[in-house]
Amino acid sequence: MAIEINIKKGLDIPLEGKASGKAEPISCTKIGICPDDYPGYTWKCDVKPGSAVAKGTAIFHAKEAEDIKLVSPVSGEVEEIRRGERRKILAVVIRRSGDEYVAPEGSDLKAKLLNSGLWALMRQRPYDVVPDPASQPRDIFVTAFDSAPLAPGMIPAHLTDWLETGLEALKTFTKGNVYLGVRPEQALRSKSAKTIEVKGPHPAGNVGVQIAAVAPINKGETVWTLNAATAARIGMLAKKGVTDYRSEVAITGPAAVKPKKVLADFGASLAEMLKGEIKEGEHSRVISGNVLTGVKVNPEEDFLHYPYRQVTIIEEGDNADEFMGWASMNPNKFSIKRTFPAFLKGLGKHYDFDARVRGGRRAMILSGELDKVFPFDIYPEYLIKAMIAGDFDRMEKLGIYEVAPEDFALPEFVDTSKQELQKLTRESLERLRKDS
């Protein structure tokens, strides 16, 4: 029998530009592998410019755990190793050619996951990092839906049949339970995992919300998390011995010419993917991911970032000219506090949001506004104050081990003080991890 969860606290942001229809296959000539997409480890590069690589060839390995690999999703040649300050590697750029594939080596499924790059697609809580191969999780949580703004379906059509096999394979890694989070209307159910039916607004799709409602994490415990697409890829690897490095990517947002879905390789070039997809004559911001947790990118030079499922295009808003500015009673403005009369139009209206912060950083205001969109049994304002102060003991008592940066995305959106809560959470978790 399914476990039922009804999320009361949260917010569905009514952003225009949702993609629909069947995904169209595209083939980008350039692919970028960005080590910063995989937190928790220092990544060492295993290739040089000019090196020939096959699909599945190791490009990086983790310095602290050399068994963990990041691999090439295509066959081709290393064109460039792109570096930033202090020669930090930002991306390894591969130019596609041919279709050679190297199957991951290993005597068991764990070794194959480590060598295939699929291990790096999972996350470990606490700390929200790539899992330690030496750890054994108390439980494994798989989420099969995404409630973020304009998020597409979680599982590409070509991988759906492998999900059950993947869930069965994941059971071999834990003595506890494997959980599958779904919407009640989804047809997905599993014989190998305990099903969690989740109702309610975003962040209902965040795996942290599901963990907190079913089996909260205590100090000293480890839980692995992953999305259903990754679980399906694990199933394909376990059964067929091959790995699929393609993903259905939704091109979304009010500044997209025509929101649509494409089937692309991990790390695909955004310049190629978005050619003709951005409205002309507007100063647009391109985000790899959704508007709450995604990464601002340069569409001419950058690549699709993990989790490789969505690109959002919105206006910057720096050339906006509004009568009366913030004091305008324009019915097309959105406010969670009903400051503007837009809510009188009823539910179902979508808005053309832009990238303006609409406010400035200031001292924290303990108004309880964050708690309205934060469905954890945690006091968010007090936890944030503990993170700002760097008080480890207080952070632990207030529930830092239960959260990840994405869990503070909505609070950051509604925060009157305009604090960078996701960045603060990531930095605090990293300090805790290094101190433990």
> Cβ distance 96 to 30 under 8 Å?
yes
Task: For residue range 212-249, list pLDDT tens digits in order.
Answer: 999 999 888 999 999 999 999 999 999 999 999 999 99
DSSP designation for 248 = E
pLDDT at 361: 76
What span, in angstroms and rounded, lies between the C-alpha atoms of 394 and 398? Answer: 6
Confidence (pLDDT) at 350: 80
The two counts, helices (H) then strands (E), for the chain are 9, 19
User: Can you tell me the mean pLDDT for 338-362?
Assistant: 71
Tokens of 318: 């720096």
Percent of the chain with pLDDT over 90: 81
**Residue listed under structure tokens 């995404």:** 146
d(CA 124, CA 225): 6
**Least confidently predicted of 218-232, 339-353, 354-368:** 339-353
Contact present, 247 and 153 (Cβ < 8 Å): no
Q: How far is CA 182 from the centre of its chain?
A: 17
For the sheet with 43-45, list strands across it: 43-45, 58-62, 69-71
What does the pLDDT read at residue 366? Answer: 73
Tell me which of 96-105, 340-349, 396-405 is least confident.
340-349
- pTM: predicted TM-score of the whole model, two decimal places: 0.94
pLDDT above 80 (res 332)? no
Least confident interval from 15-24, 344-353, 387-396:
344-353
Average pLDDT over residues 373-378: 96
Report residue 337's pLDDT band, with 50, 70 and 90 as the boundaries. confident
Looking only at Cα atoms, what is the longest distance across the chain? 68
Q: Is the pLDDT of residue 33 over 60?
A: yes
Confidence of residue 260 (pLDDT cuts 50, 70, 90): very high
* Helix, strand, coil abundance in the chain, percent, nearest 5: 25, 25, 50
**What is the 8-class DSSP label of residue 244?**
-
Task: State the pLDDT at residue 325.
Answer: 65
pLDDT given for residue 346 in this prediction: 52
Q: Is residue 347 pLDDT above 90, yes or no? A: no
Percent of all residues in the chain with a pLDDT value above 70, rounded to a whole number: 94
Rounded Cα distance between 263 and 133, Å, is 31
In the predicted structure, residue 44 carries a pLDDT above the cut 60? yes
Q: Which residues pair with 287 in a beta bridge?
A: 296, 312
Long-range contact pairs involving 264-267 (C-beta distance under 8 Å, separation at least 24): 264/26, 264/28, 264/304, 264/308, 265/27, 265/28, 265/31, 265/73, 265/74, 266/31, 266/33, 266/73, 266/304, 266/306, 266/308, 267/31, 267/32, 267/33, 267/34, 267/73, 267/303, 267/304, 267/305, 267/308
| pLDDT score recorded for residue 282 | 73
Looking at residue 334, what is its pLDDT? 77
Q: Which of 414, 301, 383, 317 is nearest to 9 (CA)?
A: 414
Predicted confidence at residue 323, as pLDDT, reads 67
Which residues pair with residue 195 across a beta bridge? 180
- Backbone torsion region of residue 317, taken as left when φ is above 0, otherwise alpha when ψ lies between -120 and 50, otherwise beta: left
Q: If we measure between CA atoms, which residue out of 246, 68, 232, 70 comes closest to residue 142?
A: 232
Give yes or no for residue 313 having a pLDDT over 90: yes
For residue 345, pLDDT over 60 is answered with no
- The rounded distance, in Å, linking the Cα atoms of 285 and 395 is 35
- Asked if the model's pLDDT at residue 340 lies above 70, the reply is no
pLDDT at 344: 61
43-45 and 58-62: which strand pairing? antiparallel
| Predicted confidence (pLDDT) per residue in 66-93, tens digit | 999 999 999 999 999 999 999 999 999 9
Q: Which residues contact 327 (CB under 8 A, 6 or more apart)?
A: none
- Averaged pLDDT of the chain: 93
Q: Which residues contact 171 (CB under 8 A, 6 or more apart)?
A: 178, 192, 193
| Per-residue pLDDT at 394 | 97
Query: What integer pLDDT is reported at residue 364 of this predicted model?
Result: 80
Q: What is the pLDDT of residue 326?
A: 63
- Residue 9 binned pLDDT confidence (cut-offs 50, 70, 90): very high
pLDDT at 290 over 80: yes
- DSSP per-residue letters across 70-103: EE-SS-EEEEEEEE-GGG-EEEEEEEE-S--B-P
